[in-house]
Amino acid sequence: MIDRFRYWKRIFSTYLLRGNSNLTFWHGNPEINNLAKYDELDQYYMLFHAKAQYNGPFDVNGIPMLNYQGDIGINYNPIAISQWSLGNFNLWRKTKNNENYIKFIKGADWLHENLELNNHKIFVWHHHFNWAYKENLISPWYSGLAQGQGLSVLCRAYNVTEDKKYLESIEKVYKSFQAFIGDGGVSYKDEEGNIWIEEYIMKGKPTHILNGFIWGLWGLYDYWLMKKDYNIKKLFDKYIKTINYNINKYDIGYWSLYEIADLPLYMRASIFYHKLHIVQLRVLFKMTNKIIFYNTALKWSEYLNNRFYIIRATIMKIIFKIFYY
C-alpha cells in the first residue's frame, strides 16, 4: 500500500508539474528521420532533435538528468542519455555544428564509462533508482531498451572516431542480446521458441513491451551495419521473426497495445506510444522489407483518424493503470 501511494504521489506531481518533470523529455512527437540510411551506419532512424535541445537539468559534466519528482528525484537514465546523444549526432551530421558533436561524444563517453557488471557478469547500464511497474523494479535494474539504444550510440561513436574503447564496450553490450534473462541478458524464449528483447527484466512472466523490443532491436541492426558479421544478422533475423509472427497480437481492432502481458485487462498504448509504434514499424519495414510492418503501420495510422477510438483507448489505459499500478 505504501509503494502504491508513493507511485501515485509521484505520478500526480509529475503531471501537475509537467514543465519541470521527466515528461518534458520523453513525450514529444515521434518523428521518422528521412535522412537515415539503411545500408550504412549514419543518422539514427528517428530525429530526436527536441531531445538534443533538452533544457536540463544536467550534471556538472553536461550530461542530462531527469526530474522524476517524488522519492526518485533527479537521476541519470541511460535511455535518456542515449536519445540525447543520438539527437545531437543527427544534428551534427545535418548541420556540421561542432557543439552537437561534442555533446554526442560526451554521451558516448558516459555510456562507455558507466557500463557495469550485473549479477551474472554481463555488462549492462543500470538504472540506480526503484521503478514501479507491475512489480517493483529494485535498483539497480537494467533494460533491453537501454542496451539497444546505448549500442546505437557506441556504434556511431566508434564509426566516426575509430577509438577502440567504444569497440570494447560494443562487444560487451552485444553479449546481453545473446544471453537469456536467467543468464543476465535481455532475451526471453517463449514456449513456441520465439525470442524476445525485454524492456523490463522481471522476476515474473515477461510483458513483451513493443516499443522497447523494437528500439533494442535497432541497436543490433546498427552493430550489424558497422561490422557486417553474419552472426549478428542471424540474431537480428531471429528477433525479427518473433515480431513478424506476433505483431497482430498487439492489434485490438481499434488501437495498439503497449504490451501483451498475461493479464485479464489489456494495456492499451497511450496516444504517444501508439504514434511511436507507427514510426517504429515504418522503420522496421525499411530495415527488413517485410510488408506486414508497412501494412500494420498504415492500419494503426488510420485508427488515429477516429476520435471515438482515441477516447476509448485513453479511458481503458487509465482503468488499467488504476488496477495494475
**pLDDT tens, position by position, 67-93:** 998 889 999 999 999 999 999 999 999
Indicate the DSSP class of residue 138. P
Domain count, the chain: 1
Asked whether 281 and 291 are in contact (CB, 8 A), the reply is: no
Q: What is the 3-state secondary structure (H, E, C) of 57-111?
A: CECCCCCECEECCCCCCEECCHHHHHHHHHHHHHHHHHHCCHHHHHHHHHHHHHH
Does the residue 135 lie in any domain? yes
For 271-291, b/e burial (b = at least 16 CB within 10 A) is eebbbbbbbbbbbbbebbebe
pLDDT at 21: 60
The mean pLDDT of 157-179, rounded to a whole number, is: 98
Host domain of residue 28: 2-248+272-297
The mean pLDDT of 250-257, rounded to a whole number, is: 98
159: left (phi over 0), alpha (psi -120 to 50) or beta: alpha
pLDDT tens digits, residue range 32-59?
999 999 999 999 999 999 999 999 999 9
Residues forming beta bridges with residue 197, ordered by sequence position: 187
Does the residue 265 lie in any domain? no
The mean pLDDT of 271-279, rounded to a whole number, is: 97
pLDDT at 246 over 90: yes
pTM attached to this predicted model: 0.93
The mean pLDDT of 246-258, rounded to a whole number, is: 97
The mean pLDDT of 161-181, rounded to a whole number, is: 98
pLDDT tens digits, residue range 303-324?
999 999 999 999 999 888 887 6
pLDDT at 204: 81
User: DSSP characters for 192-227?
Assistant: TS-EEE-SS--SS-----HHHHHHHHHHHHHHHHHH
pLDDT at 302: 98
Residue 239 CA to residue 233 CA, distance in Å, equals 10
Does the residue 17 lie in any domain? yes
pLDDT at 323: 75
Does the residue 263 lie in any domain? no
Nearest of 112, 110, 143 to residue 126 by alpha carbon: 143
Query: Which residues have C-beta within 8 Å of that of residue 81, sequence separation ≥ 6?
Result: 63, 64, 107, 110, 111
pLDDT at 3: 52
pLDDT at 124: 98
The mean pLDDT of 256-263, rounded to a whole number, is: 90
pLDDT tens digits, residue range 116-162?
999 999 999 999 999 988 778 999 999 999 999 999 999 999 999 99
Distance set, CA 136 to CA 127, 200, 211, 263 (Å) = 13, 10, 20, 17
pLDDT at 28: 85
Does the residue 315 lie in any domain? no
Say which CATH number the domain at 55 has: 1.50.10
pLDDT at 132: 82
Does the residue 292 lie in any domain? yes
Asked whether 196 and 187 are in contact (CB, 8 A), the reply is: yes
pLDDT at 14: 47
pLDDT at 135: 75
pLDDT tens digits, residue range 180-237?
999 999 999 999 999 999 999 988 889 999 999 999 999 999 999 999 999 999 999 9
The mean pLDDT of 266-282, rounded to a whole number, is: 96
Residue 325 pLDDT grade (very low, low, confident, very high; cuts 50, 70, 90)? low
Asked whether 155 and 162 are in contact (CB, 8 A), the reply is: no
pLDDT at 237: 98
pLDDT at 134: 73
pLDDT at 19 over 60: no
pLDDT at 2: 41
Does the residue 222 lie in any domain? yes
Does the residue 64 lie in any domain? yes
